[in-house]
Amino acid sequence: MSIHTTIQWTDGTVNPTMGCDGCPLWNRLNKRCYAGKTTRRFGGTNPGLAKNFDVVELAPGRMAMATCWRDLSGTARRDKPWLNDLPRLIFVSDMSDALSQSVTFGYLRQEIIEQVSSELGRRHQWQWLTKRPARMARFSRWLTQQGVDWPTNLWAGTSIMTQSMTKGINHLLNVGDERTIRFLSVEPQWESIDLSQWLPQLDWVIQGGESGAVDHPFDLAWADELFEQCAESGVAYFLKQLGTCVREDGERLRFADRHGGDWSQWPRRLRVRQMPINATTKHRGVRGRHVDADLRRPAFNLAK
Ligand code: SF4
């Protein structure tokens, strides 16, 4: 867990579990997941990480510690001005996938739902991201059967990389209720993706290219496409990073930041980092949060 993070769309991170069952980025043939690579390198010496990334471990108590972090409502972030005035945003499960199969719903309720819903936890907004949206939807149904509501300050998100992974979005739409902020992390993006059919039911899209050894260069046309799709549906859009290998019209572009995450180095039209939440109401609905580096784009009305 970390009270500060360089991840552009959040303030801090917390992991109620360590390790993961894997995904297309981490399996027998592919070892590209950042969390997996970091755990391989430092696991066993760093107590914040699993000893073995392939064996999921529980880390009870971390969520409770994160609830104690100071409220950031009304606070300016020097390095992330697009988060200014918002409550503290906390990314749940950046180095793991808490919905890995061996993690019981009882544990998730106790560690995530109860902490997020606690008096201290309600001061923050929690961004839970998974590559297992079907299991997240099952967990949400299980909570309902227990008479427990999905907390309004717990955002539900899933990561996709390809068009074929969009089928998971249908499960995401079954998480929580009409008040739940649902988001997609399209990162690392491997191909052009059309989200039009789901966007009217989503609140936020984060997009990013791949870092490190890249098999799938990021085409700037993909950013233009997704921005336009989001704008048409009134969905907040956030371009996180362009990645290590960036192309436009077949030409390779190079940036001083090797992750392509410094938006001051990007073409001006791409500098869009919007958030799906109103700083005052802390709810979706009237979601006027809009930050654009050069303010060239008119702030479109995010209210639905
Ligand atoms: S699901 Fe997430 S944490 Fe798990 S291997 Fe894939 S990218 Fe890494």
* Nearest ligand 1 atom, CA 23: 6
Task: Give pLDDT < 70 ranges for the chain.
Answer: 278-304
**CA 131-96-117 angle, 5° bins:** 85
Residue 112: closest CA among 140, 88, 85? 140
pTM of the model: 0.92
For residue 294, how far is its CA from the centre of ligand 1 (angstroms)?
Answer: 34
Task: Determine which residue's CA is closest to atom 3 belonging to ligand 1.
Answer: 96
Residue 283's pLDDT is 57
Residue 237's pLDDT is 93
For the chain, the structural domain boundaries read 1-180, 183-304
Strand ranges, E, within the chain: 12-14, 17-18, 57-58, 89-92, 125-130, 154-160, 182-186, 204-208, 218-219, 236-241, 246-248, 251-253
CA 188 to CA 209: how far, in whole Å? 5
Q: Ligand 1 site: residues with CB under 6 angstroms? A: 20, 22-23, 25-26, 33, 35-36, 96-97, 131
CA dihedral sign of residues 83, 85, 86, 89? positive
Choose the residue to mutate in 17, 21, 25 for probing ligand 1, maximizing ligand atoms within 8 Å of C-beta.
25
pLDDT in tens, 117-151: 999 999 999 999 999 999 999 999 999 999 999 99
